[in-house]
Structure formats: structure tokens, C-alpha cells
Structure 1
């Protein structure tokens, strides 16, 4: 999964805006679907090179073992589907790494495996992350024929000098061409990733970049703030004084400008980092934010599901082995490369539902929360907190008959709001004596 955008750290403004009411819609599945359905994430760990800012689980391949990786991805998918006993996969996301380096047959093999051991939802979204190089662009048709119906293009920047500094191996012209070709194949279902807060970037250049992007993009845009990750080449450059990161206030202004500009062009923000028009929100990512089950396949992938196949009754947090060669060996020996599994307590489950749900502009509605906490509702947990009351009075939080959510300005400082909510959640749950909770 991609890195989430850290909320801009700035002084809370007294001038607040609320999201329009049509963004706040209700979408609650029946509680029994919590264990019957899941989304599937497939991690392709290989890249031709490592970007200067990236600390994701990715590797430059030592040899041409793509076919072995594909075989093991298929086998682990089969094993984990049997273990989860889900009856329906609602979406599939091929991420990485650079999954556009994979043989297109990998897509069809995984989709066939799903159909064999569960079912693929009629409206299932099948997304592939694409590096917009010539090689990635040349395989779009084959990937589409293999079953991909949505592309996510890793543009990152439309400034060639910035692309070089970031260690990217494509040009802005290649990125724009890739967007055009992807849109021809999947009109209305192409997302672009753009990064802001890059060293040497200015507010003025960001304005120009957004304008150029909006001339060619489809109906989905993801904005990610460049963050400094320990162990990366960029981190070493900054520590050595060779590169200077932008001032936080400038980065905050870039984010707010992008939000307003996208809104003016018909996009609705539906999550901290994500914007869509024409109802083109990412169904796969929404499943994460709504606390649904997901199965993670591949080196370093994460999952959250109930292992019904071995008698499990509670949701587990599962992590697959990081190193591809070790993961391959484990899959060949026992069918999966699960390295770590933790049974989530009810508090841990609700913490995840809260943190992920508050990232959405519509927040968490009452009925959805009751699926995970049928005894203690949102009002019972957060309605008596002094800290929460202050956020409600300042307008950064909204709690009404729909549920709990951030205001326009509140979402921009989500990192400062979540600790208040988490402390109150823990306090109420640990003090409550009614222990008959639903844990899924």
C-alpha cells in the first residue's frame, strides 16, 4: 500500500469550511459480509532501480526469476484464500515495487486462482500500478487483456529535473503519454500519483504543474507529500547538508492550494490524499479505510482477516516475509510466507477502524461503527470527552446524526486530532465492564 500523506502541521485556523453534504454518503455492508468478503493486495517486489526517497519493500532483481515469483504469488494466493475462506474478492490491487515489470500473465493467473477458490465480484476493480517508462507503457494493452481494468500511474512529478533528483527513470513527456494511452484503454479508471514538497520545488512551480496535470489527467488524483525516510539516499543527502527539505508552512500551502484547485475542476476529496470526480474513487483503498478484510500476498505484504479455515474467530494482522528469496523458499515449502501474525484485541481493531475511517471526508457513520462495536456507540465513546468537545466547538470535528468526521480544515491537521480520539477510545473501552463485543 502507498504511504499516507501526513497531515500538515500548522496552527489551527478559526476560519473553517465544511465538506458539502453530498460527500457524506452511507455505505454499510451487512455484518456477516465482514468475514465473507475481502480485497486482495498482491506485492511485486522488484524494481530496476531504487528511488532516492523510497523505503518500501523493493529489490533490484539479481537474476531473471520473474516466472518463479509469479508462480509463488499464485500459490500463496491459493493458500490464503483457503485459510480465510472468503467467498468473494471485491477488488484486487497489484502494487510494489514495480508490478508493471511483471509478466502480464501474472494478472490472469491470480484472477483465475481467485475464481477457482472464491469468486471475483461482478464489479471488481482490478488495479495495476504502472511506472510510466517506455517498457511500462508498451505492456498496457497486454495487462488490460489479462484483466486489469484500472491503472494507477506513478507520475510523481512533471519536472524532469525533479524526476532525476528523485531517482525516477522516466521523463515528464513519457508520463503524459502513458496517461493518454491508459485512458484510451480504461476511460474514467486511470489514477495519477503526484508528489509535492519536493526539494527545490516552489509554490509557483507547483501551480504550473497542477495546471498541466489537469489538462491530461483522468478522474482520479492521489497527492502524496514527500516525507524523509531514514535509510534512504535522500535522508543521507539531507543529513549531509547537500539537500534541503521545504519549510512545513510552504508544504501546507501547496496541499491546500491543490485541494482547492482540484475542487474547482470537479474533483471531490474523499480521503486525505485522494480526489475523484464522476464517482471514480478507488474501491480497493476504500475497503482499507472502511475497515474491511484484506488479504496481502507477496514479500512484505500486510493483511487483516479472520483465519476461518483453521478455526479462527478474531481478525489477525498478518505480515509476509520481507526478503523475496526467503519468501519464495517458504512458499515453496509450506504454501505461504507468513512471518508474523497477531490476533487483534477489540481495542486494537477499533483503533484501526478509527484511524483509517477518519482519513475519509465522510468519516465514520454510526451504523458502520456499530458493526465493530455494537455496545459502545460513537456518542458514548466520544461525546463526553473534554478534548473532543473542544475540537467540536472549534469546528475541526463534526459529530451529528450521520457520525463522526473532520471538517475541511480538520482533515488537514488530522495528525493532531487522532491522538485525542485514540486516548478517549482507550480510556472508555478499558473502563467499560460490558465485555460482549463483536470482534471480526
Structure 2
């Protein structure tokens, strides 16, 4: 893991890291010295900001709780605890390996060690869960810790016991309308308690308790993920790594410096996500002359089809990932070129999830040819009239009401973006 981390850092523009997130699977099962080793691995090749947010996902079992002080000594300064529910019946349905008393004990210890930096996870849409039962569960969870809460709707994974129980009719889960009621009820409960919604699924007591790492995703910042299944977003750099397979140098001068010098964030663990600025250009989509290839997309301005970033995916299987890292320093298995339009679309979809929305200043980094106001002022007028979005020359955001139905709004906005760029 440290090898891939350092390989990727050394092959990027990253000089300072502002947040590190150990997630995916159960990273707290690792020994604290591994956390320390990863953080030292970062410091060996670049600057880990003194105030960097270093988060660890934790399952609230007694064994994990007992290791929290060791994790703090290793460099962790924020924890995200997978409480899910404070109802033992619900935990049994989810096959969780902790009880309500285990979760309460973990939260109490975490608050002593990581004051103001404790996030809790809660799940709704569970079997036999009623609106009132969910409402009470949220209140109980938040009354234990008011720093930060992330809400998740139950996802039925094919092949799991619960999936088969629901499909067979043995177990019932709430319908779509009930799920909507549960979400809206939780937003109101949290607001009454003092946690404001700053993103569709995330709530915080104040600005300082918001997740810096999550906000980087929604703002389309660059981040580096390490481990099996890690996803990557990168911008080509004009300096080759020694022994690069392609031997082609790409031209960075066409890129907006604000993009490739953006804040850098690291994800560590299975299925981590990565956006970095690399120094090599293997499969970068460059011609032998050093110019960038353009996607063969009809009816689009050439400038919109400039390849400005790559999406990369690591091998998902741990054995395959280890083999790839041992062979070439990285577990990357799949590479996809992304145009300005691709990146802008991603920013639109992720940025509108947050209450900050999509700013014109940030948008112009990715798609300077078209302002948000130019694209949406007429096309999205009906969404404005329905008070679902708020559009101004400074940017676009979704209203409180609109956040509740964001999944229905986004397809319309993305379609409008494509329509504008096709004209």
C-alpha cells in the first residue's frame, strides 16, 4: 500500500496533502502501526499539512474501541463510526457484529479522544422500520454525539441473506413513498436538534465539524486513492517518469493551473477514490507530437473535447492488486479519458449535492466556454419557477426543497448541458 502511495505521489504535482481518509471495508481492523506507516510514507515524499484532517472508519465493536487511543497516537484525528442504528433488532437484521451498548461505548470513548471530530453513520429503509421508529432512532443517535451525521438508505446487495429474504417476501422493507417520508423526517429532526444539512446525506453542527474530505469530492477537487478497487481522476503532466511505457510528453499549458494545482486529498483502502495530477503519461491520450488527442464526438467544439483528465480504476481483487503493485508500482487496471464536458458534468452532479452548489468560479476551471447562467437561465426556467434550483451569475444551487428530489432534477440539468454544448 505504501509502495503504491509513494509511486503515485512521486508521479504527480502533489506537494501538500490536506486530508487523508482510511475507508473502504473495515480499515480499523488494521494495526495502528500500519496507519502510522502510511502517514510517514506521505511525509517522505511530500508535505502533510499540519492541520490535515486524518479520518478512520471504525466499526463500534469492543476490540475496535479498545484500539482508538492507539489510532490517535498513530496520527488519526477524526473518526467515522458505523453505528447504523441504536436498535438491537435492526442490528440483527443487518448482521452487524456490534450491539447498541457496544456502539454507545465506542461513541463515548471517541468523543473523549477526538473532541468535535466524531462522525456517525445511520441507515434508514430497514426491514419492519416505521417512520416513528426511525425518527426515534435518529434522535437517540444524535443525542449521543452532535458533531456530524451521515445518512444512508439501505441498499440490498444481491447474494446477501437480506436480499433473498426481501425478494422472497419473508422480510418487508419500506416502499419508495415511505423512504421519502423517512428522509424528510430525519432532515427536520436533525434541524430541530441543531445539525444543519450541508449535503444531501451529511449533517453537521457547525462549519468546523463538516467533513473536509467529503467536500473535496463535491467540489471536484483532486484526490489520490490507494488500494484494491481505488478510482482515480488525473490530469496529464509534461514530465515523464523514468522508464515510462509510452515515452510521450503531454502539454500542460492548455490546462488551467487552478485545476492541476488544486488541493490534494488521499483515500486509503479498498474501493478508495483518487484524483491526482500525474507526471507520467501512460495511456494519457497524447499523440507522438505531445499534443492531446480529442474524443471523436460530433457536433462539439474542439475545445470541449480536449482530454483534460483521466479516470482510472485499480484491480478490485486484493491478490491481483498486490501483484500489479509489485510488478509496476500501481494497481491500475482501467483507464478512461475525460473531456472538459465529462469533468464539468461530474462537477454538476456532485456539486449540486451540497448546499454550496456549483460556483461559476469553479465551473470556469473546467468549462470556460459556457457560463452556468448562459446554459441554464432559459432552459431551467421551469425548475426555478418551481423553486427547485437557485441560479445567479455567481453560480447555481439546489433549494432545500430541491435537495429532497435531487435525483429527479439532475437528469434534466445534465440533458440541458449536453443540449447547449451540441448547439
TM-score between both structures, scaled by the size of structure 2: 0.82
In the alignment, which residue of structure 2 is the partner of 1:288?
217
Residue 247 of structure 1: CA displacement? 1.7
Match of 2:40 in 1: 112
Q: CA deviation at 1:401?
A: 4.0
Post-superposition offset of 1:249: 1.5
**1:198 alignment partner, one of 99, 120, 126:** 126
Given candidates 391, 407, 410, the residue that maps to 1:415 is: 407
- SS state at 1:259 partner: helix
Looking at structure 2, the residues matched to 330 and 268 of structure 1 have their Cα atoms a distance apart, in angstroms, of: 43
- Aligned with 2:342 (options 318, 341, 348): 348
Q: Given the superposition, is the C-alpha separation of residues 323 and 167 from structure 1 closer, same or farther in structure 2, using an over 3 Å criterion?
A: same
Q: SS in structure 1 opposite 2:126?
A: coil
Distance across 1 between alignment mates of 2:11 and 2:334: 15
Report the Cα distance in structure 2 between the residues aligned to 1:350 and 1:380, rounded to whole angstroms. 14
Indicate the residue corresponding to 1:304 in structure 2: 233
Q: What's the Cα RMSD here? A: 1.3
SS in 1 for 2:137: helix
Partner of 1:86: 14
* 8 A contact 2:138–2:186 mirrored in 1: yes
What whole-Å deviation, never above 9, does each CA across 1:78-136 have from its counterpart, x for those lacking one?
11112223112121100021000011111111111111112112221000000000111
Give the equivalent residue in structure 1 for 2:362: 368
CA distance in 1, matches of 2:61, 2:327: 36
Confirm or deny: 8 A CA contact 2:85 2:141 kept in the other structure.
Answer: no
Query: What is the aligned length?
Result: 357
Is this contact kept in 2: 1:98–1:130, CA < 8 A? Answer: yes
Counterparts in 2 of 1:24-423, with a 5 A limit? 73-279=1-207, 280-308=209-237, 309-311=279-281, 314-385=308-379, 388-423=380-415
Note the alpha carbon deviations across 1:141-161, whole angstroms, 9 max, x for none. Answer: 111110100000000011111
The one-character-per-residue Cα deviations of 1:160-181 (angstroms, maximum 9, x if unpaired) are: 1111111110001111110110
Tell me whether 304-313 or 375-384 shows the greater mean CA deviation.
304-313
Contact 1:83 1:307 in 2 (8 A): no
CA drift at 1:234: 2.3
- Structure 1-normalised TM-score? 0.79
Q: Residue by residue, what CA displacement relative to the aligned partner does 1:28-86 show, whole Å, maximum 9, x if unpaired? A: xxxxxxxxxxxxxxxxxxxxxxxxxxxxxxxxxxxxxxxxxxxxx11110111122231
Looking at structure 1, the residues matched to 392 and 196 of structure 2 have their Cα atoms a distance apart, in angstroms, of 21
Q: CA deviation at 1:291?
A: 0.3
- 2:353 and 2:135 map into 1 onto residues whose CA distance is 25
Does the 8 A contact of 2:196 with 2:206 survive in 1?
A: no
Q: Secondary structure at the match of 1:310?
A: coil
Q: Secondary structure at the match of 2:70?
A: helix
Q: Is the 8 A contact 2:119 2:149 kept in 1?
A: yes
Equivalents in 2 of 1:252, 1:384: separation in Å?
A: 30
Task: Name the CA distance, whole Å, in 2 between partners of 1:307 and 1:95.
Answer: 27
Output one character per residue of 1:193-234: Cα deviation in whole Å (capped at 9) or x when no partner: 000110111112112212211221141000111123334332
Q: Report the counterpart of residue 434 of structure 1 in structure 2.
A: none
Deviations 1:321-368 (A, max 9, x none): 001111111111211111111121111111100000010012112112
